[in-house]
Amino acid sequence: MVESTGTPEMRARTSRRAGASRARANAQNSFAPGAVDLTSLGPIMYTFMFRNIASDGFIYSDPQAPGDISRDSKPGCIIAAPSFPAETPGIDEDYVFNWVRDAAITAMEVAKADMPTRPGGTVQTLNDYVTFADLCHSNAQPTKGHACFNIAGDARSWTEQNDGPALQSITLLAAYDQLDPDTQKRAVGLVNSNVAFLLEVYKDPTTNLWEEHTGYSFFARSAQLRCFEEIQASSITGIDRPVRLQAAIDWLSVALAVHWDGSKYVSMMADPGNGAQPSPQNPVVSGYDPNIDIVQSAVYGAIPVTDTKLLATAAQLRSQWEEGGTVFYPINKADKEKFGIGPLFGRYPGDVYDGDTSHPVPGGHPWALSTCNIAELHYKLAVEINSSGKVPVDDLSTPFFAQSGIAR
């Protein structure tokens, strides 16, 4: 996730001065159609993911404090990426930090992966994750929605993002049976603290997952709704179910529906102030929709993949990045013509971030995460259709299915 704001002298998520030169290189790769073995590729990509997870035997040094072992990573720290300008010429990202959201969705994958276990059936990576998450939670300031921490677990000066505690709680519930007894108790306490915090703030504006705007976030609300629903349904001993939980579930369900503007879900509604109600006709900024975080709200949040309004939004996302779209990516034309694959997806039409803040490009660039989220939407939808025998097609979702060659 990327923070687009910053001082004129220092880019956000970067330690490189704005005027510093950057080496630039171009590379071209290709593959033989049909030659990609996804079954074999999956474990390789999983190994790359583990490159970002610290343990007691795999330790990161803080690149901003070289030689200071007190700043080294703690086990369970999950960095966004091992990218730091001084060590990777040509880039200006500084991702050697633990973002609550990034760590939670990474640990979600670990919890699902049938990892090798220790005696007693526990997974040490998940034990470490819970311990580090609890450390960060105890150091969080000014609120328990603080989004970013250094690799030793101290709060970094950053924004408050109220999807993080929700996603973390979802992950802790999913990982619970793979934790040792002491860590289970720690996880329960952390979940209860997160839920208590969320019940105080779920109606409020928050900084969104792209860390660019503050307003009423569809993604944050979806994550909070899923969290509350899973808490309500949990049978884990010690998990609190506050009296206000059902009212919060009902309120969020209604609030999410308000993001529909008649043709798509709007990612971020502006806070009109003075107690007035937000409107999808008043987004935080133009050019922010359709936004890939709507699809991410189905992958990580509570939005059903069969929601035809979601599918209508997903169809618009695809159209804008295909040939003829408003922010067409040339690689999508080449991939389609040469290999019959694609398209790759970005974040939103007005994006200008492409990994190099000094050379903005309209539409940004394709994101692996965005594209994988779209793929997961299709897979999950196929599973639902196969299970129910029903295709969720109506006037809204017809364009989505037509893009896959499925006529109504």
Could you tell me the pLDDT band of residue 25, with boundaries at 50, 70 and 90?
very low
E strands present in 59-199: 98-99, 148-149
Judgement on whether residues 289 and 392 belong to the same structural domain of the protein = yes
20: in domain: no
The pLDDT value recorded for residue 116 is 86
pLDDT of residue 10: 33
Distance in angstroms (rounded) separating the CA atoms of residues 404 and 406: 6
87 and 226 both lie in a single domain: yes
- Which single residue is written with the structure tokens 């506050």? 242
Please, which pLDDT band fits residue 8 given cuts at 50, 70 and 90?
A: very low
Domain that holds residue 249: 48-257
Q: What's the confidence (pLDDT) of residue 187?
A: 99
| pLDDT above 80 for 86 | no
> For the domain that residue 121 is a member of, what is the CATH number?
1.50.10.10
C-beta separation of 135 from 189 below 8 A: no
- Position 232 scores a pLDDT of 98
- 323 is a domain residue: yes
Residues 363, 214: Cα–Cα separation, whole Å: 21
Residue range 57-65: average pLDDT? 93
CB 106 within 8 A of CB 54: no
Q: What is the total count of domains within the chain?
A: 2
Residue 12 has pLDDT above 70, yes or no: no
pLDDT digits (tens, 9 = 90+) for 139-194: 999 999 999 999 999 999 999 999 999 999 999 999 999 999 999 999 999 999 99
CA distance 79 to 81: 5
- How far, in Å, CA of 219 to CA of 105, rounded? 14
| Within-domain flag for 206 | yes
Q: Which domain-ending residue is among 205, 227, 257?
A: 257
Does 248 share its domain with 337? no
Tens digits of residue pLDDT in 102-154: 999 999 999 999 888 888 889 999 999 999 999 999 999 999 999 999 999 99
User: Which amino acid is it at 246?
Assistant: Q
pLDDT at 36 over 80: no
Report the pLDDT averaged over residues 272-289. Answer: 93
- Within this chain, do residues 87 and 216 fall inside the same structural domain, yes or no? yes
Are 250 and 138 in the same domain? yes
Residue with tokens 């009109």: 272
Comparing 61-65, 98-102, 136-140, which segment has the lowest mean pLDDT? 61-65
Pick the last residue of a domain from 211, 229, 257.
257
Report yes or no: 81 and 109 within 8 Å, Cβ to Cβ: no
> Dihedrals φ, ψ of 155, to 5°?
-65, 135
DSSP-derived letter for residue 56 is S
pLDDT of residue 6: 39
> Does residue 32 fall inside a structural domain?
no
For the chain, what is the mean pLDDT? 90
DSSP string, 217-250: EHHHHHHHHHHHHHHHH---TT----TTHHHHHH
- Whether residues 157 and 107 fall in one domain: yes
264 contact partners, CB below 8 Å, separation of at least 6? 289, 290, 294, 309, 312, 313, 316
Contact, 259 vs 198, CB < 8 A?
no
Residue 100 banded pLDDT, cuts 50, 70, 90: very high
The reply to whether 312 and 202 lie within a common domain is no
Average pLDDT over residues 1-5: 44
Of the ranges 58-67, 221-230, 237-246, which one carries the lowest mean pLDDT score? 58-67
Residue 253 and residue 136 share a domain: yes
The Cβ of residue 292 has, within 10 Å, a number of other Cβ atoms equal to 26
Each residue's pLDDT tens digit, 212-235: 999 999 999 999 999 999 999 999
Is 91 among the domain residues?
yes
Q: Clarify whether residues 147 and 201 are in a common domain.
A: yes
Predicted local distance difference test score (pLDDT) of residue 27: 43
Query: In terms of domains, do 279 and 391 share one?
Result: yes
243 residue type, one letter? V
- 231 and 323 in a common domain: no
* Weakest-pLDDT range from 29-33, 63-67, 188-192, 195-199: 29-33
pLDDT at 40: 85
The tokens describing 76, both together, are: 């369970």
Averaged pLDDT for residues 21-49: 66
Q: Is residue 149 part of a domain?
A: yes
C-beta of residue 159 within 8 angstroms of C-beta of residue 210: no
| The predicted structure's pLDDT at residue 169 | 99
Residue holding tokens 């990202």?
Answer: 93
Mean pLDDT (whole number) for 296-322: 98
Instruction: Determine the pLDDT at residue 93.
Output: 78
Q: Best-predicted range by mean pLDDT among 28-37, 78-87, 335-344?
A: 335-344
As given in the structure block, the two tokens for residue 31 are 């593959």
The arrangement of strands across the sheet holding 268-269 comes to 206-207, 214-217, 268-269
- Residue 194 resides in a domain: yes
Give tens-digit pLDDT for 67-81: 999 999 999 999 998
Average pLDDT over residues 384-389: 97
Q: Which of 193, 222, 257 delimits the end of a domain?
A: 257
Average pLDDT over residues 356-361: 69
Name the strand (E) or helix (H) holding 107.
Answer: helix 100-112
- Tell me, rounded to whole angstroms, the distance of Cα 302 from its chain centroid: 14
Which pLDDT score is estimated for 14? 44
- Would you place residue 87 in the very low, low, confident or very high pLDDT band (cuts 50, 70, 90)? low
Q: DSSP letter at 177?
A: G
Answer with the residue of higher pLDDT: 364 or 334.
334
pLDDT score recorded for residue 363? 75
Reduced to 3 states (helix: H, G, I; strand: E, B; else coil), residue 330 is: helix
How many CB atoms within 10 Å of residue 239?
19
pLDDT confidence of residue 32: 56
Please say if the pLDDT value at position 397 is more than 80. yes
User: Could you tell me which residues come within 8 angstroms of residue 24 by beta carbon, excluding any fewer than 6 positions away?
Assistant: 90, 356
**CA gap 2, 31 in Å, rounded:** 30
pLDDT of residue 22: 42
**Same structural domain for residues 71 and 165?**
yes
Query: Residue 230 domain-assigned?
Result: yes
